Structure 1
Amino acid sequence: MDPAIEAIRTFNRFFTRHVGAIDARFLDTEANLPEARLLFEIARQEPVQANLLQAALGLDRGYLSRMIARFEDRGWIMRDRFEADARTRPIRMTEAGREAFDKIDQRQRAAVAHDLNRLDAVAQDDLVQALTKARLLLDPDAPAEFIIRSARIGEVSQVAARQSILYAASHGWGRELETLEAETTAAFLRRFKPGREECWVADLSGTMAGAVFLTDEGDSLARLRLLHVEPFARRRGIGGALVDECVRFARDRQYDRIILWTHTVLDAARRIYAHHGFECIATEVHHEFGEPVQGETWQLRLTA
């Protein structure tokens, strides 16, 4: 744990300095960073009650009250007067408050743009993915939208790498599985049949959150391969959405059946397959991953 703890603390020290988190005047404005954050929430939610701001920001009630009082003294906000309890009076921004917020917002956008302009397109994408993963790893229940799209250059190979890492950690499957994954993805790229095969990626706020393949096995038979969902993205329905895409694609291309190979120990994946109408039609113990493990063949008939 010690190296991981030190790495995170080192980054925190860098980032608080980088964004001016401890500056008395954030981006050379009248507000510090907590005040700028509060002003953002008021601008986004107005009219809004103080208790909702407290819940959104996780602030101490007294600290929040003092900031709101400072905003009133500066003429940035006003409160409706029809409630006796100040905590229930909706807060609205004044024209002066809107001007203060716009100044902070524009300067912050300019500061972020300055950081991004120093990076090429690949580095920008790496940064966005790293930040998204960090946010969702630390807050896996945070709201985030995903889309299902076709894989981009390099992502097919990433699937093999990520699955090898994840299965080594969860089940101890090592080099043998990694070899099989690499051979499967290389064959997909080498023999790809446009319009008959596809690799789909679940894109969660700009980062790969999972993937699946569908390949043409001949005689109107398709094979679902290499389904996985990243740990930081689970419990969002991504696995089901990826299998949905496979089944829809196979029906549109008039395949008769979809088959897949999985393992008895992979309970979450098996539940997804069963939910979509797949049935286990054969089991066999194998040693392809070193230790004996029970493999299963599942099938979904698409035509009567």
Structure 2
Amino acid sequence: MDTTIEAIRTFNRFFTRHVGAMNARFLDTDANLAEARLLFEIARQEPVQASTLQADLGIDRGYLSRMTARFEDRGWVTRDHGEADARTRPIRLTEAGRTVFGQMDERQRSAVAHDLGRLGPVEQEDLVQALTRAQLLLDPDAPMSFTIRPPRVGEVSQVAARQSILYAESHGWGRALETVEAETTAAFLRQFNPDREGCWVADLAGVMAGAVFLTDEGGGVARLRLLHVEPFARRRGIGDALVRTCIDFAREKGYDRITLWTHTVLDAARRIYTRNGFECISTDVHHEFGEPVQGETWQLILNS
């Protein structure tokens, strides 16, 4: 924990220096960083009440009031007339305020573009994903929508790596599971039949938040494999969406049933399968991952 705390504090110190957060004149303007942030929210939401700004920015009401008063003194904002209490009157930018905001916005975009200009396309994508992932880890309830899409190059292998890491942490399944997952994904890539099989990735603001596979077992049977959802992306319906995608694909391709193998200890996954019509048809104890574990075979009949 101490190492992790220090790593985060080290990054915070780097980033506040990198963006000039300590400067009294942010981006060489007549505002500090807090004032620039407030001006951005007013420009984005105007007309907007002070209570909304306070809630969105999470700042003290008195501090917000003082900054807003400074904006009024500079002629950057005005309040709508009509309410006796100034705190309830919506705030708008003046023409002077829009000019100042436009300068700030352009300078900040230029500063970010300068940073990105030193990176190649893959490095830029790595940076965006790292920042988005950091936000989701620190705020897992952030209002972001997800999409289901085919995998990009490299993501099939990433599924095996992520599942191996997550199951090692949650259940102690180590190298043996990693071997099974690596072999499964390698076979999928080597033998992939796009007319009968698929892999789908849950994309949450550009970050891979989960995935699932469907493979052809022959005889009208499809197998659902390697379903997982990242911890930071849970409670969003991603697992159900991935399973439904498999079911829809299997119906479209004329499969008679879908089978899958899971474990009794994986309660969340079992609830997803139950909600989507699967039934457990057999159980067995195995030792493939070291300690004895009870595995389960489930199926969904598609064509009765």
Residue 208 of structure 2 corresponds to residue 190 of structure 1: no
Aligned to 2:134: 134
1:2 corresponds to: 2
Deviations 1:165-184 (A, max 9, x none): 00000000011100100010
How far did 1:108 drift?
0.8
CA deviations over 1:186-238 (Å, ceiling 9, x no partner): 10011100121111111111111000000011111100000000011111111
Matched, 1:302 2:302: yes
Q: How does 1:122-161 map to 2 (within 5 A)?
A: 122-161=122-161
Q: Any idea what SS the aligned residue of 1:265 has?
A: coil
TM-score, normalising length: structure 1 = 0.99
Distance 2:218 2:91 in 1: 65
2:208 is the counterpart of 1:222: no
Q: What is residue 13 of structure 1 aligned with on the other side?
A: 13
Distance 1:195 1:89 in 2: 60
Q: Shift in Å at residue 151 of structure 1?
A: 0.5
Letter in 1 for 2:99: E
Counterpart residue type for residue 48 of structure 2: V
CA distance in 1, matches of 2:209, 2:195: 24
What stretches of structure 1 move > 2 A for 4+ residues in a row? Answer: none
Query: 1:244 offset after TM fit, Å?
Result: 1.1
The CA deviation string for residues 87-128 of structure 1, in whole angstroms up to 9 with x for no partner, is: 100111111111111111111111111111111111111111
SS in 1 for 2:199: strand
Secondary structure of the 2:261 match is: strand
| SS of residue in 2 equivalent to 1:114 | helix
Q: Distance in 2 between matches of 1:152 and 1:80?
A: 50
Q: Secondary structure at the match of 1:225?
A: strand
2:272 is equivalent to residue 268 of structure 1: no
SS of corresponding position for 1:217: strand
Q: Give the letter aligned to residue 206 of structure 2.
A: G
How far is 1:144 from its partner? 0.9
For residue 119 of structure 2, give the secondary structure of its aligned residue in structure 1: coil
The gaps in structure 1 that reach 5 residues or longer are: none
Instruction: Provide the C-alpha distance between the structure 2 equivalents of 1:102 and 1:222, rounded to a whole number of angstroms.
Output: 56
What are the residue-to-residue correspondences of 1:160-175 with 2, within 5 Å?
160-175=160-175
SS at structure 1 position matched to 2:235? coil
Mapping 1:1-304, distance limit 5 Å: 1-304=1-304
| SS of equivalent residue, structure 1 residue 30 | coil
Q: Tell me how far apart the structure 2 counterparts of residues 93 and 243 of structure 1 sit (CA, whole Å).
A: 48
TM value normalised by structure 2: 0.99
Look up the equivalent residue of 2:277 and give its one-letter code.
Answer: G
Unpaired runs of at least 5, structure 2: none
Q: Distance in 2 between matches of 1:243 and 1:47?
A: 43
CA RMSD in angstroms, aligned pairs only: 0.7
**Distance (whole Å) between structure 2 residues aligned to residue 119 and residue 253 of structure 1:** 43
1:212 aligned partner, one-letter code: V
